[in-house]
Amino acid sequence: MAYCNKLVPITNMALRSAVRSFMPAASTTSPLTRGFQTSVAQKDIDSAARFIGAGAATVGAAGSGAGIGTVFGSFIIGYARNPSLKQQMFSFTILGFALSEAMGLFCLMIAFLILFAL
């Protein structure tokens, strides 16, 4: 052992600096900094596809609004042309409104299912 020390003389200071280089630093960085993190590419693609699908599903809600406007606009035009058929036209108008609104709600439901259930 004494022969080994003569070949490679190591002082206490050199030994401490070598040990410190292998030990993790004790909170020398601020706690708000984060290292570079990556995620799995497949998870990112699935998340992007989910958002695109939900956005495409909500387009039907805009179509529902246009349909409701068309139904009530047609009712007003029909009533202006023939006021005696008001009750029959109004019942058809409410039926058209309900069907158009139901389709919009179905589109919204599918969008929420895509976002939160899959």
Residue-wise pLDDT for 8-44, tens only, equals 555 656 656 665 666 555 555 556 666 666 566 677 8
78-108 pLDDT per residue, tens? 999 999 999 999 999 999 999 999 999 999 9
Q: Is 29 helix (H, G, I), strand (E, B) or coil?
A: coil
Tens digit of each residue's pLDDT (9 = 90 or more) over 43-66: 788 888 999 999 999 998 889 999
Domain boundaries, the chain: 40-116
What CA–CA distance (Å, rounded) separates 102 from 118?
23
Helices (H), 10-85: 12-22, 41-57, 59-81
**Count of positions (residues) in the chain:** 118
Q: Are 112 and 55 in contact (CB under 8 A)?
A: no
**Predicted pLDDT at 118:** 72
CATH superfamily, region 40-116: F1F0 ATP synthase subunit C (1.20.20.10)
Q: How far apart are CA 8 and CA 1, in angstroms?
A: 11
Distances in Å between the alpha carbon of 70 and those of 27, 57, 77? 66, 21, 10
Alpha-carbon dihedral sign for residues 28, 32, 33, 38: positive
The more confident residue out of 73 and 25 is 73
